[in-house]
């Protein structure tokens, strides 16, 4: 049990809360589209309707497993690749690998196992998901290298997590569509923006160690402006998705809350005051994602 807890800590399992809600949005959007094309009763999307989980439970479970396996692989690989950097940074020296809690080769093996499980789950979903699984793995693993050569590393992280809604949609329908892609844009801009806020803590360390980030390249004040711009784009994409999807007032309540949390995190983090960065990073964004998804999914299945 202790070893399991150590690996959960290694991969920051709680951070799954960022992308998973949007994967669920993509999944239920796909169900709505499937039901619409079949010209059946919309109420068949009810979570309590007879036969719902017999029909959709298998794909739902596979989507959840894909999310867990892909994110676990990405985070474990990041910790493996950054182990020497983390050891030099006082803020990260307590992480499992530099602290000697988990060996580097164990983290690498964990990454390989999680990657293989992700690919296997995609195979059992459909052939398109299987083919795209290699693209997804490349993106999420490649992110760990990017801070070594580009300040746009935050955007690469955003791209990796933005695959969640469109990936879940493809798992059900086997096809791309505009609406889930808009939700992917939301995730891209939202995640990139709050990752910049998180990176403010390491501005001086990154500069001293020739690591790239927007705070290191532009300074804290300008980096926060970039983050604000990305979050403005996320808000615009959320509104555009609501308009395109023809959602009801449930969606717009969720949108108001989500955008309000974007504003909140910028209100509590200032260039000369970073002591509430973790509140902005984990608490505000985790709550924003979960509450938004609850309202959107309620709108879809009601």
Q: What is the pLDDT of residues 240-270, one digit of tens each?
A: 999 999 999 999 999 999 999 999 999 999 9
From residue 214, alpha-carbon distances to 81, 138, 248, 279, 285 in Å are 20, 23, 38, 20, 20
Tell me the residue length of the chain.
302
User: Under CATH, what is the fold of the domain 18-301?
Assistant: Tetracycline Repressor; domain 2 (1.10.357)
Q: What is the pTM of this model?
A: 0.92
62-82 residue pLDDT tens: 999 999 999 999 999 999 999
The whole-number pLDDT of residue 47 equals 54
CA 13 to CA 242: how far, in whole Å? Answer: 30
CA 115 to CA 95: how far, in whole Å? Answer: 22
pLDDT band for position 41 (cuts 50, 70, 90): very low
**E runs forming strands in 138-199:** none
Domain extents in the chain: 18-301
143-158 residue pLDDT tens: 999 999 999 999 999 9
From residue 162, alpha-carbon distances to 66, 184, 194, 253, 301 in Å are 14, 4, 14, 22, 23
86-128 residue pLDDT tens: 999 999 999 999 999 999 999 999 999 999 999 999 999 999 9
Q: How many CB atoms lie within 10 A of CB 205?
A: 17
């Amino acid at each position: 049990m202790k070893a399991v807890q150590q690996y959960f800590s290694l991969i920051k399992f709680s951070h799954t809360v960022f992308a998973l809600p949007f994967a669920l949005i993509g999944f239920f959007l796909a169900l709505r589209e499937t039901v619409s094309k079949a010209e059946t009763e919309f109420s068949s999307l009810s979570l309590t309707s007879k036969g719902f989980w017999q029909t959709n439970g298998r794909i739902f479970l596979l989507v959840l497993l894909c999310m867990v396996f892909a994110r676990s692989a990405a985070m474990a690989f990041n910790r493996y690749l950054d182990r020497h950097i983390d050891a030099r940074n006082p803020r990260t020296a307590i992480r499992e690998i530099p602290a000697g809690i988990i060996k580097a080769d164990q983290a690498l093996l964990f990454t390989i196992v999680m990657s293989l499980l992700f690919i296997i789950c995609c195979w059992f979903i459909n052939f398109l998901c299987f083919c795209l699984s290699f693209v997804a793995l490349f993106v999420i693993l490649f992110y760990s290298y990017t801070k070594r050569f580009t300040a746009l590393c935050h955007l690469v992280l955003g791209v990796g997590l933005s695959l969640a809604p469109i990936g879940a949609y493809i798992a059900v329908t086997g096809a791309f569509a505009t609406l889930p892609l808009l939700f992917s844009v939301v995730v891209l801009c939202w995640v990139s923006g709050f990752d910049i806020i998180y990176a403010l803590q390491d501005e001086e360390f990154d500069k001293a160690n020739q690591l790239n980030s927007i705070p290191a390249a532009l300074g804290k004040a300008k980096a926060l402006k970039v983050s604000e711009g990305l979050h403005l784009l996320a808000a615009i994409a959320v509104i555009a998705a609501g308009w395109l999807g023809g959602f009801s007032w449930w969606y717009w309540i969720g949108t108001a809350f989500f955008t309000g949390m974007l504003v909140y995190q910028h209100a509590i983090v200032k260039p000369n005051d970073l002591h509430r960065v973790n509140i902005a990073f984990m608490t505000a964004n985790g709550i924003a994602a979960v509450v938004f998804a609850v309202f959107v999914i309620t709108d879809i299945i009601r």
